Amino acid sequence: MLNWFRALLPREDKFFDLFERHSRILVAGAEALQKL
Single out the residue of 10, 30, 29, 28 nearest to residue 19, CA to CA.
10
The set of long-range contacts for 2-5, using a CB threshold of 8 Å and a minimum separation of 24, is: none
Q: Which pTM does this prediction carry? A: 0.60
Give the tens place of pLDDT for each residue, 14-34.
888 888 999 999 999 999 999
pLDDT in the model for residue 30: 98
pLDDT in the model for residue 4: 82
* In the chain, where the domains are located: 10-35
pLDDT in the model for residue 1: 61
Q: Give the span between the Cα atoms of 32 and 19, in whole angstroms.
A: 20
